[in-house]
Amino acid sequence: MAYDTIKLKSPYMPESVVRAIEQQCILRSGIDLATGALLYELHSGELLGSWDSRIAVRPMYEDWVIDKNGRPRLAPSEPYITVECSVHKAMLGHNVYGGPTNFREACSFLVDLLEKLLGVELPPSNIWTVHRVDVAHVFALSRPAIKEFFDSISLRNFPRRQKKAAKYDMAVYFAGKTTTVKFYHKGSEFKVHDYARLRHYFRAVYAYQYGKGDTDNLKRAERKLKALQRLAENRLRVEVEVHSDKFQYDFGKNPLVEEVTDQYLEAVHDKEVERLLREGKQAMETVRTTTAVMTRLQNLYGQTKGQRLYGFWAAMCTLNENVMRDQYTRATFFRNRKLLEEAGVSWRSSDITVTANDSLIHDFTPMRVDRRFCSSPARNRPEFNISREELRLAA
């Protein structure tokens, strides 16, 4: 597990401090003059997407209040700021691997970084409030297996997330009010959004290490980029974006950083992915093959009921869910499907579909129990432990 985009809101601060921050956010960036590399950029707008590498800092002079009719509205308030960025990219420049796994430490890093970039004293991170957290799981799969996974997802029906769902060749996006669930092939996303930016970044890093006149800096940067691209090509990324509404529902407010635990965020991620894909309970290994499904259902429900559910499962494997709803009454369909889920039985990529005997993902489930879940910590590479401020000063 790793954390990516985080959005925090500061406590109220003196107006002079917020005004000073506001002036810096207009054109505050660090650029290597030798290479033109943009080392960091502060701006006062919203992030364009989860792939955006900028740091969004917004000085605010209004806050949400509940009016006499019980509706939220903006009203003048004491000044404060919000900060939103990919803390993973702020740490490493990329989010292919090695993301932060301790939420409170990640927030502390973000506030400390902002304090250094702005040159002002900010309140400690533990008393900032949390408004968004992206919790990411990464799985090691070959590109063909990832393509097969998305092909199977495209055939499934997601009625509760259908309205704002977006499906692409190598990505799916299910937006919601409290959470948003995203699956995407990291290699495709990395090539489009990060490759060109990181070419300049790594050239600046190597110029810092070996000197600007070293002609091998560009080759070193290209080797590093190609290595990252190769790694990204074999990574499926599963993200759950936890929105402000979710925090307010669970905590009764936007909680302080010190009130949000890693266990809570892990539980939200697992629950949302499990609910979306209907992969059964995480503590039970999901089964898909004919023999394993028959054995599981008969052991749990007995021979007669197990065989009946096996017939329902076989039909779910070969027919679309919408077709199956027409063949059963509403109550029977949802009761049978619920029993399959509780048994840890999946009808996705089973071995009775046309191509499943050659399936690359017949035993894959995008949960932490899967053997392809990437949980090992990244190596600490001291040559890349260089602050962006050091790179700017070396320009």
Does residue 377 carry a pLDDT above 90? Answer: no
* Residue 346 confidence (pLDDT) above 50: yes
**pLDDT at residue 361 in the model:** 73
Structure confidence by residue, pLDDT tens digits, 9-59: 999 999 999 888 887 765 445 554 444 555 445 555 555 555 556 788 888
Provide the pLDDT for residue 357. 44
Residue 208 main-chain phi, psi, to 5 deg: -65, -40
179 vs 299, more confident:
179
pLDDT for residue 138 is more than 90:
yes
Question: 198 and 384 in contact (C-beta within 8 Å)?
Answer: no
Place of tokens 């949302």: 272
* pLDDT above 70 as % of the chain: 80
Q: In the predicted model, what is the mean pLDDT of the chain? A: 81
Per-residue pLDDT tens digits for 97-119: 888 999 999 999 999 988 888 88
pLDDT tens-digit map of 156-182: 667 777 777 787 889 988 988 999 999
Give the pLDDT score at 388: 52
Query: Is the pLDDT reported for residue 260 higher than 90?
Result: yes
pTM of this structure: 0.73
Residues 6+ apart with CB under 8 A from 314: 352
Q: What is the DSSP letter of 256?
A: B
CA 2 – CA 266 distance, rounded (Å): 10
- Reported as a pLDDT band with limits 50, 70 and 90, residue 128 is very high
- pLDDT greater than 80 at residue 266: yes
How far is the C-alpha of 347 from the C-alpha of 304, rounded, in Å? 20
Average pLDDT, integer, range 176-189: 93
Which residues are registered as beta bridge partners of 85?
6
Cβ(345)–Cβ(280) below 8 Å? yes
The larger pLDDT score, comparing residue 287 to residue 225, is at: 225
In which band, very low, low, confident or very high, does the pLDDT at 284 lie, cut at 50, 70 and 90?
Answer: very low
